[in-house]
Structure 1
Amino acid sequence: MTKLNSAYWQNRYETQSTGWDVGSITAPLKTYLDQIEDKSIRILIPGGGNSYEFEYLITHGFTNVNVLDFAQQPLLNIQNRLPEVNPKQLIHADFFEHKATYDLIIEQTFYCALDPSLRDQYVQHMHGLLAKGGKLIGLLFQFPLTESGPPFGGSKEEYILRFSPYFNIKTLETAYNSIPPRQGNELFFIFIKK
């Protein structure tokens, strides 16, 4: 199996082998984010890549947003698109070593990109990064778990089993407004830290 380290992801961005990158914020996330009134909440987008979600939030008045990625290139891409952004908001680090506290964490193709052996650690670390009552929201793929990836699949049953010890599952349902190639294969979710 390919070692999914920083060099692997850097190479994917340098060679533009980024089939998951749709070039803009996706409708399920935009719809959710448009409902947030407090634009000062602490937000993290881990494994954010080119993070059009970050760009959307910044250009819509959110003041406390950070994107984290293992690879440097996507963070440079964001900096080039948004030169006014404080570089401290673009965190080049290993997610599992990141320490901070957030009110909202946005999941967008990060969970499915991790080696499946790291999924329990992912859930626990997400829980640890959220403030009391904080929310983990976003999209998770629903297609069978495969040996080849990323992306690696998952199911509603697996997510309930993994996340429910740490989160109250408020929403976990097939996204009605996915982009056509992902129609029926994405679950929109809102999990609230226990």
Structure 2
Amino acid sequence: PELARRLALGELAPPRRGARALVPGCGRGHDALALARAGWCVTAIDLAPEVRSGLARKLAALGGEFVTGDAFAWRTRRRFALVYEHTFFCAIDPLLRPEWGKLVRRVLARGGRVCAIAFPTNKPRAQGGPPHRMDASALRAALGPGFRIAANTPARARTPGREWMERWVELRR
């Protein structure tokens, strides 16, 4: 819901025609499709092959693509103006978060941004995961130097049924 709200407000409009967005760990692709409908040229990646056929067809019709595979092992020469994060970072083992940061640093264009629904921000760490606790500082730490937190606000349109808090986080390169 928060992504849809921000797209409707024009806050996440592509900076130019053909601007690329990457959605690693896209799951069923709801966010990837929303970004593609808003004009982004989306590449969505997920390990689950069962989501491929329907999502690949829908994204292709909107000028995007779906890649089945490990986002950390995926290689491309393309650079992305946006990396969108929602439930990938919190699903991976926290020990793999530096790999997430390497992926983003490898593909994000200079001046690009990372937008994330940080969830669950208030889950006790002792409860483990997935979903593992995450917040803006965890995203920033995984990215390393050269990134700044540009936004870190409570999500105004929360996902129904979520027990823990969500925040909208934007980091700029």
- Tell me which interval the TM-score lies in, with the shorter structure as reference length: 0.7 to 0.9
Cα separation, 2, equivalents of 1:93 and 1:111: 16
CA deviation string 1:79-135 (max 9, x = no partner):
46x286389711012111122321111101110011111012211221221011111
- C-alpha distance in 2 between matches for 1:156 and 1:79: 31
Q: Partner of 1:190 in structure 2? A: 170
**Partner SS, residue 132 of structure 1:** strand
Change (3 A) 1:163 1:146: farther
For 2:73, the aligned partner's letter is E
Paired letter, 2:86: Q
Give the alignment's TM-score, normalised by structure 2: 0.81
Please say if 1:32 is aligned against 2:12: no
Partner of 1:54: 32
User: Which of 65, 88, 95 matches 1:89?
Assistant: 65
Give the structure 1 partner of residue 55 of structure 2. 78
Identity rate, percent? 24
The structure whose residues are more often helix, as a share, is 1
Backbone CA RMSD of aligned residues: 2.6
Which stretches in structure 1 are left out of the alignment for 5+ residues? Answer: 1-25
- Residue 113 (structure 1) aligns with: 91
**Is 1:43 aligned with 2:21?**
yes
Instruction: State how far apart, in whole Å, the 1-side matches of 2:92 and 2:172 are.
Output: 22
Q: Is the 8 A contact 1:67 1:90 kept in 2?
A: yes
1:130: which partner in 2?
108
- The C-alpha deviation readout for 1:49-97, integer Å capped at 9, x for no partner, is 111122223334x2511110111112234246x2863897110121111
Q: TM-score, normalised by structure 1?
A: 0.73
Residues 1:151 and 2:127 aligned together? no
Instruction: Specify which of 41, 64, 68 is matched with residue 64 of structure 1.
Output: 41
Q: Matched residues in 2 for 1:153 and 1:122: separation?
A: 15
Q: Is contact 2:28-2:55 (8 Å) kept?
A: yes
- Amino acid paired to 2:84: I
How many residue pairs get aligned? The number is: 165
